[in-house]
Structure 1
Amino acid sequence: MSGGITFVDVLAPRAYSGAPGQLTGLGGTEATLVRIAESLARRFRVTVRQSSRQGPDAQSGGVRYGGFNVKGPLLEAPGTIVVVNSWKVAMRLARLHPGARVIVWQHVFPGRHNRALAPALRAAGVELLCVSVAHANWMRGFLGADAPAIGTIHNPISDDLYPDDSPRDPDLVLFASSPHKGLGQVFRRYEALKERVPSLRLLVADPGYLAWPTGPVPDGVIPLGRLEQPELIRWMRRALCLFYPQDQFAETFGLVIAEANAVGCPALLQRGLGANDEVASDPGQCIDTGNPDAVAARIADWRCDIGRRPLATSRPEFRLSRVTGRWAALLQTPAARPPQGHAMQD
C-alpha cells in the first residue's frame, strides 16, 4: 500500500513508543517524535521505524512502531519519509524509494562533516526541516549555496499546559535538562547568586541519558533525578523560575523552556544563544547571564512579582494542535514540487 508517512529513527539508544513508561530516560527528540506521530495518526497512516527495535512491532496511539534495517528499504511504500538527524540514511532511502518525498528532521546542530553531504541532499531532492527559525537560519549559513530546501516547524507542547493556583516558592529555582547542557556553569553562577540570596535552593532534574562532569556540587542543590513528565510539570509550577544561566550549550528549540513558560514559570536564559530569544514568551527572560548583577536583578524582580500573576505565558504557536496542523499542511504539499523553506515556516 502506498502513501502515509514513515518516521525513521536510527539514533535512539533503545526502542520506544507512546505507551506509558516507554519514553523514560530518553530525550526530547524521542518525546517530540511520539507526540507528532500519534497526533498525525488521526489524519494519516503513520509508521515509526527504529533500528534499535529488535522485537515485534508495537501499536500506540494509532501508530505502528517497527524495526528498521539501515541497509535495506522500508517494508512499506510511504508517500513521505521523515528521517531524524541522519543525512546518510535519508539519501539511501531516497535512492531506494524514488517515488517518496524524503525529509531530514533536524533536531541538532550538525557537525562539519555534514557540510560535504549538502550538495548530494539537494541533488536527491531531500529537504531539511528545522525546529526553530534560529536553527534554520544557522543551517542556511552553515551550508551556504549548497543548502537544500530548509524549513521550520517548531516542536510542540501539550494543549493542556496552563498555569494553575499552585503556590510558587521564591527560594526554589529549577534546572531540568541533561547535565551536558551547561550544568557545570549553572552551578558556578548559582553559587554566585546564593551569596546574595542565601536561602536559595537549586533543584536539578536530570533525565539520566548522559553522564557528564560538572565539577563540585554547591550547597543548596537538591537532586531530583529522573522525573516523569507530570512530576516535572508539578515542580515547574512550584519553582520561581527555570534556572538556565549558561552560554556553553545552544538549544535548537528548548522544549523545557516552552513547557515551563506554558505553566507560568519564567526561564532565566542567555540572550542571543540558540533559540532562547525565539522560544521565551517575553524578552525579559533573556539577559547577559555572565553578569552577576543582571542575574541577581532579574531574580529579585521575579521574587517581588511572585503571587501577583503568572510570571510567564504560553506561546500559542507551540501548542500541539497548531504544530500538528503545520505538519499536516507540509505533508499535503505535492511531493513533485518540494516547498521552499518559507512554505514550512510558521
Structure 2
Amino acid sequence: MSRAITFVDPLAPRGYSGAPGQLEGLGGTEATLVRVCEGLSSRLQIMVRQRMRPDRADWWSGVGYAGLDLKRPFPEAPGTIVVVNSWKVALKLARLHPASRVIVWQHVFPGRHNRALAPDLAAAGIEVLCVSRSHAEWLRRFVGGGPAPAIGHVCNPIDDALAPDDTPRDPDLLLFASSPHKGLGQVLERFEMLQAEWPRLRLAIADPGYLAWPVGRMPARVLPLGRLRQPELIGWMRRAACLFYPQGQFAETFGLVIAEANAVGCPAVLQRGLGANDEVASTAAQCIDSSDPDALRRAVAGWRDAARRPSEIRVRPEFRFSQVLASWVDLLVPGAATRPSITPVPSPERFTTWQEISTPTTPAPAANPTRSQAISATR
C-alpha cells in the first residue's frame, strides 16, 4: 500500500494551513487536522485537500495543501484517504479510489439523514474514526440495527508541554472559552445567579469568532475577550479559578479546551453525562448536575477555595500529543494498524440524540486505554 496519505476537508469555510495566521477564526477541527498532519509528515507523505482552496499545491511544515476535485482520482494516488465529517464525500472517494483505504474522521454528531448511509459505508469498507470513546459509543448506537461501518476512536491532542506554573489564580475569575452557540446563554444565566452570593465574581469570555450567535442580555462583570491567540488563552486558563461551562444544551464530541485547562491546572465546571465531559475531565468532581443551583454553588465554592492553593488538577496523559500521534501512526502506517472492527450495537429505536436527553446520565467510567485500544472498537 502507498505511504501517501490524503486528508480531505470538504466543509471548511476557507482554505487553511499551519502557516502563521491561517487558522485564525477557524475551530478546533481545523487546528487538530493541521497538528496531526504535521506530526505525521516525518513518517508519511501527507497531502491535505480542501474544497475552498485553489488547486495549486502549497507546502508548510512538510505537509502539502491543495484543492479538492471530486470528479477524478487524486494524482498522489494515496494508500489511505481520511475525510473530515462527510459520509457522502467518503463514498465518492471510495468509488474513485477502489484500492485505497477510506476513513471518515468524525468530529461532530452526524444528523439523522446519515443513518441511511451507514450500510453503504459498511459495503464500501469505509471506517469511521471518532474523537473520543464516548463519541464512538454514541455513534454505534446511532447506526445500530443493520450493517454498520467499522467504528473506532483516537482522541484529539493537546500540547505535550502544557503544565501548571506559578501564575497566581484569581478566586473571583471564571472563564468561558468556547463559541457562544455552545450553551453560552445558559452559562450567563447561571453566572448571574452566582453573583448573588459572590458579587465580585467575573466571567471572562474568549470567543474563537467563527460563528455569530445571539445569547441575550449580558450580566454585569462579564469581560468579553474576543478571539485570543493560543498562548493568550492559556494565560487566562492559568489565572482563572475554573473553566466555567455549566450548560446542558451542547454536547462536545471531545472538548479540547477542557483538556487544555486541566493540563495547566485549571479545573472545569461541567454538566455530568453530557457528550465527552466525563471522559475528558480528569476528576469526577468537575462534572455535576449544573441545573441544580446548590450543586453549582458548591462546585464553584470549592474551586474558588482551591484557587488559593497550588492546583492538584492534571490532564489525562492519553490526550498528550505524543500519545495521540503514536495512535495515528499505528492506524496509518502499513502493517502497524489495528483496524476498528464492527461491533453489535442497540437498535435505532433506542437511540436518542444528546439534545433529546432532558436529564443527562453518567456513562460508565473509562479505564485509561492502551494505544491499540484507543484505535480499536469497544467490544
TM-score w.r.t. length of structure 1: 0.96
Per-residue deviation, residues 40-75 of structure 1 (Å, max 9, x unmatched): 111111111111102642211111111111333222
CA contact 2:70–2:93 (8 Å) conserved in 1 = no
Q: How many angstroms does 1:255 deviate by?
A: 0.4
CA contact 2:3–2:333 (8 Å) conserved in 1 = no
Q: How many angstroms does 1:343 deviate by?
A: 7.0
What is the letter of the counterpart of residue 46 of structure 1?
I
Per-residue deviation, residues 216-250 of structure 1 (Å, max 9, x unmatched): 11111110000111110111011111100000000
CA contact 1:243–1:268 (8 Å) conserved in 2 = yes
Q: Secondary structure at the match of 2:196?
A: helix
Which residue matches 1:123? 123
Per-residue deviation, residues 250-304 of structure 1 (Å, max 9, x unmatched): 0000001000100000110000000000000100000000011111111111121
CA contact 2:187–2:247 (8 Å) conserved in 1 = yes
CA contact 1:333–1:339 (8 Å) conserved in 2 = no
Q: How many angstroms does 1:153 deviate by?
A: 0.4
Matches within 5 A, 1:1-346: 2-54=2-54, 56-144=56-144, 145-332=146-333, 334=335, 338-340=339-341, 344-345=375-376
Per-residue deviation, residues 283-329 of structure 1 (Å, max 9, x unmatched): 00000000111111111111212232215211110000100000000
- Residues 120, 337 of structure 1: CA spacing in aligned structure 2 closer, same or farther, 3 A cutoff? farther
CA contact 1:51–1:70 (8 Å) conserved in 2 = no
Q: How many Å separate the matches in 2 of 1:190 and 1:178?
A: 17
Q: Secondary structure at the match of 1:196?
A: coil
Q: Secondary structure at the match of 2:300?
A: helix
CA contact 1:83–1:102 (8 Å) conserved in 2 = yes
Per-residue deviation, residues 173-215 of structure 1 (Å, max 9, x unmatched): 0001000000000010101111111100000010111011111
CA contact 2:171–2:308 (8 Å) conserved in 1 = no
What is the letter of the counterpart of residue 375 of structure 2?
M
Shifted more, 334-343 versus 176-185: the winner is: 334-343
Per-residue deviation, residues 132-157 of structure 1 (Å, max 9, x unmatched): 11000000000003321000100000
Q: How many angstroms does 1:34 deviate by?
A: 0.5
What is the letter of the counterpart of residue 70 of structure 1?
L
CA contact 1:128–1:151 (8 Å) conserved in 2 = yes
Q: How many Å separate the matches in 2 of 1:155 and 1:242?
A: 19
Q: How many Å separate the matches in 2 of 1:132 and 1:303?
A: 30
Q: How many Å separate the matches in 2 of 1:336 and 1:155?
A: 18
Q: How many angstroms does 1:125 deviate by?
A: 0.2
Q: How many Å separate the matches in 1 of 2:307 and 2:264?
A: 14
Per-residue deviation, residues 107-135 of structure 1 (Å, max 9, x unmatched): 00000000000000000000000001100
Q: How many Å separate the matches in 2 of 1:135 and 1:339?
A: 14
Q: Secondary structure at the match of 1:117?
A: helix
- Residues 337, 29 of structure 1: CA spacing in aligned structure 2 closer, same or farther, 3 A cutoff? closer
Q: Secondary structure at the match of 1:21?
A: coil
Unaligned runs of 5+ in 1: none
Percent same amino acid at aligned positions? Answer: 66
Q: How many Å separate the matches in 1 of 2:340 and 2:255?
A: 26
What is the letter of the counterpart of residue 332 of structure 2?
L
Q: How many angstroms does 1:335 deviate by?
A: 10
CA contact 1:100–1:335 (8 Å) conserved in 2 = no
Unaligned runs of 5+ in 2: 343-372
TM-score w.r.t. length of structure 2: 0.88
Q: Secondary structure at the match of 1:31?
A: helix
**Number of aligned residues:** 346
Q: Secondary structure at the match of 1:146?
A: coil
Q: Secondary structure at the match of 1:83?
A: strand
Q: What is the alpha-carbon root mean square deviation over aligned residues?
A: 1.7
Q: How many Å separate the matches in 2 of 1:158 and 1:336?
A: 24
What is the letter of the counterpart of residue 196 of structure 1?
E
Q: How many angstroms does 1:338 deviate by?
A: 4.5
Q: Secondary structure at the match of 2:186?
A: helix
What is the letter of the counterpart of residue 219 of structure 1?
A
Q: Secondary structure at the match of 1:222?
A: strand
Q: How many Å separate the matches in 2 of 1:338 and 1:237?
A: 39
Q: How many Å separate the matches in 2 of 1:49 and 1:335?
A: 25
CA contact 2:330–2:336 (8 Å) conserved in 1 = no
- Residues 289, 216 of structure 1: CA spacing in aligned structure 2 closer, same or farther, 3 A cutoff? same
